[in-house]
Structure 1
Amino acid sequence: MRGQGGHPLTMGQLSMWRALSVRPPEQLWESNQDVVWPVPAGTTEEQVRQALTALAVRHESLRTVYRPADEPDAVRQVVLRDPLVRFAEASVREPFDLAAQPAWRAWVRSSDDGGPPRVHLVIHHLAADGAAVRIMESDLHALLRGDRLADAPAPREVAELQRADDFRARLTAAGEYRRRIVAAAPRVPVSRGSLVRARAHTGIPYGAVRHAARRLQVTVPTLLLTVYAQALAATTGRTDQLLWQLAANRMDRTVRHLVSSMTQWVPMLAACDPDGPLRPMAREVNVAAVRAMQHGVYDPFAVAPMDFDHGSFFTFIPAPADADAAPSEVTPRRVEFLPPRAYSGASFYLIAWVHPCVQLTMRVMRSGYGRAEVERFLTTMTDLLLRAVEEPA
């Protein structure tokens, strides 16, 4: 395989690499993402294959292999000159050999109901984080339409910028911020327990949540984060909470369309009274959340290793850019328990989707949290969010 030199990794890639380096072999597959994309009616399998190959030409991370080094922070990425797309069905539980081949596979499957085919994708988080997967889907549809796309940024270019002298102060400040917040957070003894996964289908439509956030003059993710902190305070009896947000680190327009792993966990402190007025709490959480995101890029080898049992973790999945935010009625709620998956990482983790209705997926691996406690937490958070939505202006 012919490749272009050996380039350093971005800080986001390094964070993922460090997490993989301490993970047991049986858990390496847990960073794989299983994705399904629809394609327009009338699209042939050959057209999809051509578009996927063009996608690999466009985005270097889809042509990249990784060269380990004696020092973990010295790992290098090698960009292959020719696209190597493996059009073969794969299991999400099959780990990738990151040093041997690009870490993704794609195949086309016909719909069972006779509709248009769908693209199935298994891709490692090191090649593309959640935001990057959405960029890839958008680019794929543009390529199928025959659109001309502007040049895409490359991870190696971002990695070089992050090691430049004028970026060093930003890395240092972010590292100091992270150390300061973690040191100030109350330490609560935690022991790991059985894994419980559940999803709350809240029935609260996206338009209602968006309207509530605008009324409070905060963003939608801030509203969800505030309610998360409120639910933690209500169920644990502790008002001060250490929260970890997954920062996408794509606020700079030059990396907004970068396909790679850019995400890093950033901490913040929140003090919430579940019975208190929402507006001042949301404003305080908003300030803390923005400050945290401003320190989202740091050198993972210059700070203490992640302690995934210290604090509570949160990821926000935004609505599509063209999402309909028209008012609609709240529908009945329900809690669905899910099969176990991904034993590595955070032991208390919530992922919030907001479109078309709010869905809260919770994963807990802590003693004292069984199905009843997880359902109570999700019910509490749904109640608090509904109260925020129904609160008069």
Structure 2
Amino acid sequence: MSEEVPLSLGQLSVWHDIRDLPARRWHEPNNAAAWRLPPGVSPAQVRTAIRTLAARHPSLRTRYDLHDADTPRQLPPDADLDEDLTALEGADADPLSLAADLAAEPFHLERQLPWRARLLTRDGAPSHLLFVKHHITADAWAQELLHQEFRRELTAPEGRSPPRRGPPTSPRSSTDPPDCAGRPRRSTTGRTP
């Protein structure tokens, strides 16, 4: 995208929910996460993984023209990411509380990228990535995909398999309904279509 474009339908939905909020509530659409890092990961590996995600997903590099509240627009994604990965020492800190504190700071979508990350360290070693993003950038489902891609970048950069499409998977529970593959479908009238 090399020029301003209208917001997507999902972005418009978020925008209509937030556009009239007073400044003291601008943080409300922020989502926070604390992603545990594998042991032995270096700050440079975390920084590279984050930059790879931002390069792959334009919404992580997009700012917005919000001057006209009735016709907000996406600005072209920034070509380069100069986001610094600040480290926070937190030996006894709760990662989720720190992420929530980070989410309490609003994004200025016209001037800032719609996400931020901090590297939580314990005794100098990286332990968690605190990741906060504005809901206009990605919903909770997409945030989980970003988390999965981030983990892949940390554990198998370059040689990773392509990202899986579709909702994140979770193990089946014994209370889940049985797989219905191969069974005839029934319509709402009770007849087989």
Query: Scaled by the length of structure 2, what TM-score is found?
Result: 0.72
Q: State the identity as a percent.
A: 31
- In the alignment, the residues of structure 1 paired with residue 149 and residue 163 of structure 2 have an alpha-carbon distance, to the nearest angstrom, of 11
1:40 corresponds to:
38
- In the alignment, the residues of structure 2 paired with residue 34 and residue 119 of structure 1 have an alpha-carbon distance, to the nearest angstrom, of 11
2:49 corresponds to:
51
1:104 to 94, 108, 115: 115
Q: 1:104 to 1:40 in 2, by over 3 A?
A: same
- The question of whether the paired residues in 2 share the 8 Å contact of 1:66 and 1:99 is answered with yes
2:5 corresponds to:
7
Q: 1:71 to 1:105 in 2, by over 3 A?
A: closer
- In the alignment, the residues of structure 2 paired with residue 66 and residue 142 of structure 1 have an alpha-carbon distance, to the nearest angstrom, of 29
Question: Aligned partner of 1:125: which letter?
Answer: H
**TM-aligned CA deviation for residue 13 of structure 1:** 0.2
Aligned length: 161
1:83 corresponds to:
81
1:27 corresponds to:
25
- In the alignment, the residues of structure 2 paired with residue 35 and residue 4 of structure 1 have an alpha-carbon distance, to the nearest angstrom, of 31
Whose helix proportion is higher, 1 or 2? Answer: 1
Deviations 1:348-393 (A, max 9, x none): xxxxxxxxxxxxxxxxxxxxxxxxxxxxxxxxxxxxxxxxxxxxxx
- In the alignment, the residues of structure 1 paired with residue 37 and residue 27 of structure 2 have an alpha-carbon distance, to the nearest angstrom, of 27
- In the alignment, the residues of structure 2 paired with residue 149 and residue 96 of structure 1 have an alpha-carbon distance, to the nearest angstrom, of 33
1:139 to 140, 149, 165: 149
The 5-angstrom pairing of residues 193-204 of structure 1 reads none
Q: Secondary structure at the match of 2:105?
A: coil
**TM-aligned CA deviation for residue 60 of structure 1:** 0.6
Q: Secondary structure at the match of 1:4?
A: coil
Q: Secondary structure at the match of 2:2?
A: strand
Question: Aligned partner of 2:151: which letter?
Answer: H
**TM-aligned CA deviation for residue 115 of structure 1:** 7.9
**TM-aligned CA deviation for residue 15 of structure 1:** 0.9
Unaligned 5+ residue runs, structure 2? 89-100, 176-193
- The question of whether the paired residues in 2 share the 8 Å contact of 1:28 and 1:95 is answered with yes
**TM-aligned CA deviation for residue 116 of structure 1:** 5.9
- In the alignment, the residues of structure 2 paired with residue 47 and residue 326 of structure 1 have an alpha-carbon distance, to the nearest angstrom, of 38
**TM-aligned CA deviation for residue 47 of structure 1:** 0.5
State whether structure 2 residue 122 is matched by structure 1 residue 124.
no
Q: Secondary structure at the match of 2:35?
A: strand
Q: 1:110 to 1:324 in 2, by over 3 A?
A: farther
Q: Secondary structure at the match of 1:42?
A: coil
**TM-aligned CA deviation for residue 111 of structure 1:** 4.0
- In the alignment, the residues of structure 1 paired with residue 42 and residue 77 of structure 2 have an alpha-carbon distance, to the nearest angstrom, of 29
- The question of whether the paired residues in 1 share the 8 Å contact of 2:62 and 2:74 is answered with no
Question: Aligned partner of 2:106: which letter?
Answer: P
**Which protein is bigger by CA-based radius of gyration?**
1
Relative contact order, higher structure (CA 8 A, sep 6+): 2
Q: Secondary structure at the match of 1:79?
A: coil
Q: Secondary structure at the match of 1:122?
A: strand
- In the alignment, the residues of structure 1 paired with residue 109 and residue 126 of structure 2 have an alpha-carbon distance, to the nearest angstrom, of 32
Deviations 1:39-81 (A, max 9, x none): 2221111101110111100111110000124352343332111
**TM-aligned CA deviation for residue 6 of structure 1:** 0.7
- The question of whether the paired residues in 2 share the 8 Å contact of 1:65 and 1:100 is answered with yes
The 5-angstrom pairing of residues 146-161 of structure 1 reads 146=157, 147-148=159-160, 150=162
Query: Scaled by the length of structure 1, what TM-score is found?
Result: 0.37
Unaligned 5+ residue runs, structure 1? 153-252, 258-319, 328-393
**TM-aligned CA deviation for residue 129 of structure 1:** 1.1
- In the alignment, the residues of structure 2 paired with residue 38 and residue 63 of structure 1 have an alpha-carbon distance, to the nearest angstrom, of 24
Deviations 1:80-103 (A, max 9, x none): 111232423672211111001211
Question: Aligned partner of 1:133: which letter?
Answer: Q
State whether structure 2 residue 99 is matched by structure 1 residue 92.
no
- The question of whether the paired residues in 1 share the 8 Å contact of 2:64 and 2:72 is answered with no
